[in-house]
Structure 1
């Protein structure tokens, strides 16, 4: 009887190496430990809510500085608007992956949580998790939704209870290592499960050259240049397929959708989509540029406002016809 027990102990020692964590002996036999724990938990909570206020905007407190866009009400309204834009682009579909009866789902960098909430309404049998650096999601949500404060570029613990479906959307200018993130998704999705990323090639272009030399082009060149110098990826869309392949996914599907900026297209659907793009961009010009240019390029707030104003003006010209490419890429982890 002793031999199996010894073997089991040896295996456990190999898989779980000893970690020497020093004990704080001041807590031993201390009846106030419960009060101390409450105080420590409150301190952790307050650190999440200690937002940075800068240039008239509010930014996340947890992992301060790792995300360069605001998290205030003005920005949250814009994120909800961008949710509607994506629905317009995808003809009211939340996702394109061929998932069936998902039981456990996560939405990475969920923002206001609107995608997670809509998905939970459509799939009441699924447990849906939304994670983000900021706890700015609503409290009145479907019972099968919960939100977590987490940094998706840090190490995950999700592999212990893997997901049927992992979704991420609009992460350009937010992530520094997409390849690593997508490999974490691979490890955290069940065999046979699906991962879907929806994102942009951030730099607009025009087919007739009308975009070249405009204030709109100057805006994106300056702002995206600052993000790139800070280490962020601003053109994830066309690279997603390669990252999915490198991670080990199979049955990868890529959908590239050219999306107009503005109401210049003749096609009614494209005109409507272009209007959503323009509104989303105009309401976000200053938000997208302030932190990147003032923190990394030593611009003043007034200079950023002037740049945004010029971009806004040229974006409204009927003789300027910008296009930006939207990508939907999904893949499956092999069954075996």
Structure 2
């Protein structure tokens, strides 16, 4: 497979401009002994002792390393986002050319919905989903298991590596993507594949209609706060270089447009935009802003609520044509 840089691909075959539809009608057990049982009980307690703040629930294990909630409202939003990605990629869970994978891991699995879908489609594979929060469903295929783990810590999978490592939507939650992707390289089999799907969280509008809006202010405030706290908010743009630095080959980077709302004329992009607006309006604006602004920028809850409300209101205005760029980058560990 020929390596293709994101810059070269974008230059030779850039995403087409998004045409606007004209519409003026509205603006496990304890059998291993008492010692293990006691330790397990303590560990479980630390994992489930969630942090409650400003009306939302957050993880307590490695408290503070992830700044979005883990409550039911957020889980519903993440499942909507899963549908957004399926629509964007025409019902594909991944783009890497994997064949008959036997061992797969989904990093920061969230609700576990990607891991569950993958396991259904690949019953021959053992699928692991790991996350800081044990909020995944217990009604899962027999080839799925979930682990509580911090993917930003050193891994211990080198002796039992994976055929495929998947990660999606880690923007604003990882500080050192380069280290993480190098861990992926060490933990995937020779010939195995790693795929990251991620945002450039900075919004755009091809016609400038986002300028001066509540949407623009919302993203300016939260992106600045996340960056000041050390988090990467534009990973999509940099993924390909991180893959190269880690040693991957046969790298491919694809860039997609995700509109906000149903203003695009193109029917596919209209569906993608509808899903995007649905996930944002499922308390997504509050989820993204509340912890980072109140913990790091001394905002009050009420101030965040107003910011989110203004962004939501502008998002319903079809004359504001906001979009984000979303990247899918995959690479292969060399056979030798």
What's the TM-score once normalised by structure 2's chain length?
0.89
**Structure-2 separation of matches of 1:34 and 1:273:** 52
Displacement of 1:281 in angstroms is 1.7
**Shift in Å, 1:36:** 4.0
- 2:211 is the alignment partner of 1:235: no
Give the distance between the partners of 1:123 and 1:270, measured in 2 at CA. Answer: 29
Q: Which residue of 2 aligns with 1:83?
A: 82
**Which residue of structure 2 lines up, in the alignment, with residue 62 of structure 1?**
61
Distance apart, 1:66 and its partner CA? 0.3
Correspondence 1:164 to 2:163: yes
CA distance in 1, matches of 2:109, 2:192: 20
1:269 Cα deviation from its structure 2 partner? 1.1
* Equivalent in the alignment of 2:260: 261
2:332 paired with 1:332? yes
SS at match of 2:57: strand
SS at match of 2:158: helix
Pairing of 1:14-53 with structure 2 (within 5 A): 34-53=33-52
1:152-184 deviation per Cα after TM superposition (whole angstroms, max 9, x unaligned):
000100111000000000000110000000000
User: Aligned partners of 1:289, 1:321: CA distance in 2, in Å?
Assistant: 21
Q: Does 1:285 align with 2:277?
A: no
Task: Tell me, in whole angstroms, the C-alpha distance in 2 between the residues paired with 1:37 and 1:235.
Answer: 42
Query: 1:221 is matched with which residue?
Result: 220
> Which digits, 9 at most, give the CA deviation of each residue in 1:109-132, with x for residues without a partner?
000000000000000010000000
Match of 2:10 in 1: none
Question: Any runs of at least 4 consecutive aligned residues in structure 1 with deviations exceeding 4 A, and if so which?
Answer: none
Matches within 5 A, 1:112-127: 112-127=111-126
Q: CA RMSD in A?
A: 1.0
Give 5+ residue unaligned stretches, structure 2: 1-31
1:316 — aligned with what?
A: 316
Q: How many residues align?
A: 304
What secondary structure is seen at the aligned counterpart in 2 of 1:232?
A: coil
| In structure 1, C-alpha distance between the alignment counterparts of 2:146 and 2:215, rounded to whole Å | 36
Are positions 1:305 and 2:315 aligned together? no
In 2, Cα distance between the equivalents of 1:44 and 1:190?
Answer: 31
Q: TM-score, normalised by structure 1?
A: 0.89
What is residue 296 of structure 1 aligned with on the other side? 296
Q: Which has the larger radius of gyration?
A: 1
Equivalences for residues 134-149 of structure 1 within 5 A: 134-149=133-148
Tell me how far 1:289 sits from its aligned partner: 0.5
Q: Deviations over 1:291-314 (max 9, x none)?
A: 000000000000000000000111
Higher relative CO (Cα under 8 Å, sequence separation at least 6) belongs to: 2
Structure 1 residues without counterparts, runs of 5 or longer: 1-32
Higher mean C-alpha deviation, range 106-115 or range 274-283: 274-283
Correspondence 1:180-259 to 2 at 5 A: 180-259=179-258
Distance, in Å, in 1 between the alignment partners of 2:46 and 2:53 is 17
Tell me how far 1:34 sits from its aligned partner: 3.8
* Correspondence for 1:128: 127
Report the equivalent of 1:176: 175
Distance 1:37 1:203 in 2: 47
The Cα shift of 1:267 comes to: 1.0
CA distance in 2: counterparts of 1:246 and 1:122, whole angstroms: 32
